[in-house]
C-alpha cells in the first residue's frame, strides 16, 4: 500500500483492511471483486490482485522460505519483511537507501536500515538534498550538490493510466456493457486480472 502512496492516506486504509481481513486465510477466502473494491484509491490496482493471489498460495501451502516466490513480491519487499518483521540480518535496498549509499560511498549494515530509509526520504532528497541537516555531511563527498531528476514522471492527467483507473472505477460500481467502455482499457485490465469480459459484459472477477 505504501508504494508510491502517501503514509497519511495509507494508514486508515491499512487499518480498515486488517479489520476486514485480519488473517491471510480471511483474505484468501474473500472474493477478488471485494479486494479490488477495497483497494480503490491506493494506486496500481494489480497489486490488489497480486496480494489476493499471494494470500491464496500462503493459505493453501504455507509461507515460502523465499517470499519472492509469491506474486508481486520482489527482492526489496522480501528483504524488508525479513528485516522489519523477522529481524533478520539483511539490508533492504530501495531507491532512498540506494541514493544515500551512492552519494556517501558509505558501507552500511542491516542495523542501519531504518535510519537509511528515513535519511533518504527526508534529508538526502532526490534533487535538492538537505545537506545542512544530514548527520553524514562531514564525510559526504556529495555534500552541497544538486541533482537532475533521473526520469521525468509523465503526467497522470489525460494518460492511459488515468483511463484505466476510471474504467475500473466504473466497473467496480456495477457490471457494464463493453460497448460503454474504452476497449483498450478493458483489455489491459483483463490482462492484469482486474476485470472479466464475458458475453459483451465487463465485471470484476
**Coil, strand or helix at 198:** strand
Which cell is 135 given? 548527520
Distance CA 165, CA 189 (A): 9
- pLDDT at residue 152 in the model: 63
- pLDDT at residue 188 in the model: 93
Which cell is 177 given? 456493457
- pLDDT at residue 157 in the model: 80
Q: Where are the beta strands (DSSP E) in 84-164?
A: none
Sign of the alpha-carbon dihedral angle for 111, 115, 118, 119: negative
pLDDT profile of the chain (205 residues), mean per 10: 85 96 97 95 90 97 94 94 92 94 95 95 94 94 87 74 91 94 94 92 94
- pLDDT at residue 3 in the model: 78
DSSP string, 40-91: TTSS-THHHHHHHHHHHHHHHH---SSGGGSTT--HHHHHHIIIIIT--S--
Domains of the chain plus CATH, in order, are 7-72 (1.10.340.30), 74-152 (1.10.1670.10), 160-203 (no CATH)
- pLDDT at residue 150 in the model: 67
Residues 6+ apart with CB under 8 A from 94: 76, 80, 117, 120
pTM of the model: 0.78
- pLDDT at residue 191 in the model: 92
> Do the beta carbons of residue 13 and residue 48 sit within 8 Å?
no
Amino acid at each position: 500500500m505504501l508504494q508510491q502512496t502517501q503514509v497519511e492516506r495509507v494508514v486508515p486504509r491499512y487499518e480498515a483492511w486488517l479489520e476486514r481481513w485480519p488473517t491471510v486465510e480471511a483474505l484468501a477466502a474473500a472474493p477478488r471483486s471485494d479486494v479490488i473494491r477495497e483497494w480503490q484509491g491506493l494506486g496500481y490496482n494489480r497489486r490488489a490482485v497480486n496480494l489476493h493471489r499471494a494470500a491464496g498460495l500462503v493459505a493453501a501451502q504455507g509461507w515460502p522460505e523465499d517470499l519472492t516466490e509469491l506474486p508481486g513480491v520482489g527482492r526489496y519487499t522480501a528483504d524488508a519483511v525479513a528485516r522489519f518483521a523477522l529481524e533478520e540480518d539483511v539490508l533492504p535496498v530501495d531507491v532512498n537507501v540506494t541514493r544515500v549509499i551512492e552519494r556517501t560511498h558509505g558501507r552500511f549494515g542491516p542495523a542501519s536500515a531504518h535510519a537509511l530509509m528515513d535519511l533518504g526520504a527526508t534529508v538526502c532528497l532526490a534533487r535538492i538534498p538537505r545537506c545542512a541537516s544530514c548527520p553524514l555531511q562531514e564525510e559526504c563527498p556529495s555534500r552541497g550538490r544538486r541533482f537532475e531528476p533521473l526520469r521525468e514522471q509523465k503526467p497522470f492527467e489525460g494518460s492511459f493510466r488515468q483511463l484505466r483507473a476510471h474504467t475500473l472505477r466504473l466497473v467496480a460500481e456495477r457490471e457494464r456493457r463493453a460497448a460503454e467502455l474504452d476497449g483498450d482499457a478493458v483489455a489491459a485490465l483483463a490482462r492484469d486480472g482486474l476485470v472479466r469480459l464475458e458475453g459483451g459484459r465487463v465485471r470484476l472477477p
